[in-house]
Structure 1
């Protein structure tokens, strides 16, 4: 069975106020093309379909269009779980209709998939299932897939209170142990003759973050150890972290990462989906398929002024990328010149001015001279610069007493 793993679409998300709709639409086209050309049997979307619990209408329309194209009229399996950005009820709202086309939509952990009675053996169908797991048959595949699906498992969505008196360390350990027990219980459905998969949306320890992820929970309490995932699993498809990364080989645990760069901390990163070929009893084979639909992000640091920026644009540097420009100047830029700079390219999302003032010889000599002065002399200079007059001797004496008292306290 060939599985395509993707996650963190964040439909509806903007970048510095810029709409990403065109890029997200292009991603859907590219994803569907990859699924068709590579003859994918099952697509797993591991959470955060939307960027908010109340996404724009076009984002929902694009999501449903993607599902309709990916399922191939019930010939290809599609499994979607909710992430921390998704409203669970919104993700699973279309489940009664989607299930008839072999699409499984799960919003909450411990939720059982719908099993329509009208699905024939010539289409994707659920053979059996229960809360958080199901066995899926895909036309043309010799083996069934047993899938443990755990949408974002917060305490509230699990409907479990671990404790209200734990420290952060105790809470982290308790949460990891709870997920471990839950996965261990669910993995009893795995068999030697099935393709055994786990998909979830959570933070696994050892994963590398970027600035574009919003914390699942402040303090890192909702993190899970890699040891929480049973070795019976052939592959663990995760969502939440936006960087493509592998955390473990046995079982094979991966974040597919997001399909687009969502912050300039991801500048230079390549985005991808993961293809996994699994035959029961054999070694899992994986392939990274890099995406081209999203615009790259680039950071420019122009230390030679606007002329340097103009030269880079004329050379076609980072063509097609969104640009974060850091412009070094020696003085304040004329507003008209700054507006002209903005109009040089629509690709500038951020322009940050950094005023760099060269140090004169006099300033350097003054700094050396100051380092040789006594504390009371430094005080006199400071007071004169702030007040424009010399301090009286009584004030200087008070400063010296405070300095002496401070020294005694440090020694004590």
Structure 2
């Protein structure tokens, strides 16, 4: 069987004043097209479906329309869990209607999905944190352990009486119990979760810039070695770059977000994962690059003309532009920059000379004329940056009122 794994859609996301919804429409279409071209049998969406607890009407409409298309109106199961950006109650709310279309929405950890049947499959059995799906055209079932996001306190409340026990131990015990009871070698066994998980002995992975952090310190980290041995593939969400923190035989995969959502992701290629699985065999998986969405670029220039030349050649991008100079940009320079490129998210003037003597900056000769005093004051408050001509003219205009 074939499985499509995607995550971190963040529908409704904005980058400062720029909406990403048009790009999201295009990349959602692309995901549906890949699912159909690859003839996948199951879709897993590992959390952060929306970008906030109260998504817009447009984002909500795009979400449900995309899921309905992915499900082929009940012929293909779609399992979506909530992430740390999602409201679990909102994800659970439309569940009866979603099930009519073959869509399984899971908002809370340890949720129990009531058995149901549609055209292409049925929920054969379920338990808190577990479902077993029987596809109509398969002679073996698919078992899924599911853990939507909840903070540490809530996860311990869901999974354990001992609130002092480490979270990794709580999860390990819960997953082991489910796997031992339900995951034999006669079916395909999967885990999907929205967690900050690392590989034991490997470097700690960076959470995306602008992402609501899950990790707080290093005292209670979760490592991939707690995943039960019966699990053939683990579909994770939260980190926005594609990576396998498991092994080739037992992949533990962050599939990446479908678009670059912060400038720390500038230059990244985005992917989804296509998995080929059968009972009692190692899975094969392939990362499929996604083509849609604007490029994010972080650029630094030391003069305006060079910046304008680059901007003119890279119109279809969203840009964080840093300009190093001795003085503030003039109003005319700013106007030229913004007229050349309409996708500038941040324009950051940067002082080139930060090596001025601090004591010198703070020493003011009170015998100077008022304009010289203003220049010294401005310089002392701006790390040695000189006031430009526009500022001096404005100062003189105010002085003469």
* Range class of TM-score, shorter chain: 0.7 to 0.9
CA 258–358 in structure 1, closer or farther in 2 if over 3 Å, else same: closer
What are the equivalent positions in structure 2 for 1:97-136 lying under 5 Å apart? 97-116=97-116, 119=117, 122-136=119-133
Equivalent residue number for residue 371 of structure 1: none
Equivalent residue number for residue 375 of structure 1: none
By how many angstroms is 1:273 displaced?
0.3
**Which consecutive aligned stretches of 4+ in structure 1 deviate over 4 angstroms post-superposition?**
160-164, 381-384, 386-389
Deviates more, 1:334-343 or 1:31-40: 334-343
Instruction: Identify which of 171, 175, 181 aligns with 1:179.
Output: 171
What are the equivalent positions in structure 2 for 1:1-400 lying under 5 Å apart? 1-116=1-116, 119=117, 122-154=119-151, 155-156=153-154, 159-160=157-158, 174-188=166-180, 189-206=182-199, 207-220=205-218, 223-249=221-247, 250-303=249-302, 305-314=303-312, 316=313, 318-357=314-353, 385=363
Distance 1:97 1:351 in 2: 46
Distance 1:221 1:213 in 2: 20
By how many angstroms is 1:162 displaced?
7.2
2:156–2:170 contact (8 Å) kept in structure 1: no
2:250–2:282 contact (8 Å) kept in structure 1: no
By how many angstroms is 1:107 displaced?
0.8
1:331–1:357 contact (8 Å) kept in structure 2: no
Distance 2:217 2:122 in 1: 41
By how many angstroms is 1:219 displaced?
2.6
1:234–1:284 contact (8 Å) kept in structure 2: yes
CA 226–293 in structure 1, closer or farther in 2 if over 3 Å, else same: same
When Rg is computed on C-alpha atoms for both structures, the one with the higher figure is 1
1:108–1:158 contact (8 Å) kept in structure 2: no
By how many angstroms is 1:261 displaced?
1.0
Give the gaps of 5 or more residues in structure 2.
200-204, 368-401
- Secondary structure at 1:72's aligned position in 2? helix
Distance 2:84 2:218 in 1: 14
- Secondary structure at 1:73's aligned position in 2? helix
Cα RMSD, aligned residues only: 2.5
- Secondary structure at 1:48's aligned position in 2? coil
Equivalent residue number for residue 401 of structure 1: none
2:274–2:288 contact (8 Å) kept in structure 1: yes
By how many angstroms is 1:23 displaced?
0.8
CA 125–163 in structure 1, closer or farther in 2 if over 3 Å, else same: closer
CA 324–50 in structure 1, closer or farther in 2 if over 3 Å, else same: same
Distance 1:334 1:284 in 2: 59
By how many angstroms is 1:216 displaced?
1.7
By how many angstroms is 1:256 displaced?
0.6
CA 335–99 in structure 1, closer or farther in 2 if over 3 Å, else same: same
TM-score, normalising length: structure 1: 0.81
Give the gaps of 5 or more residues in structure 1.
368-377, 390-412
By how many angstroms is 1:388 displaced?
6.9
1:101–1:123 contact (8 Å) kept in structure 2: no
2:110–2:147 contact (8 Å) kept in structure 1: yes
Distance 1:90 1:34 in 2: 28
2:197–2:224 contact (8 Å) kept in structure 1: yes
Provide Cα deviations, 1:171-218, integer angstroms capped at 9, x if missing partner. 7xx111111101101112112110100001101124343213211253
CA 40–344 in structure 1, closer or farther in 2 if over 3 Å, else same: same
Equivalent residue number for residue 406 of structure 1: none
1:229–1:251 contact (8 Å) kept in structure 2: no
Provide Cα deviations, 1:272-297, integer angstroms capped at 9, x if missing partner. 10000001122211011010112121
TM-score, normalising length: structure 2: 0.83
Distance 1:24 1:71 in 2: 19
Equivalent residue number for residue 388 of structure 2: none
Provide Cα deviations, 1:244-266, integer angstroms capped at 9, x if missing partner. 11101153101111111111011
CA 102–222 in structure 1, closer or farther in 2 if over 3 Å, else same: farther
1:109–1:158 contact (8 Å) kept in structure 2: no
Distance 1:198 1:110 in 2: 13
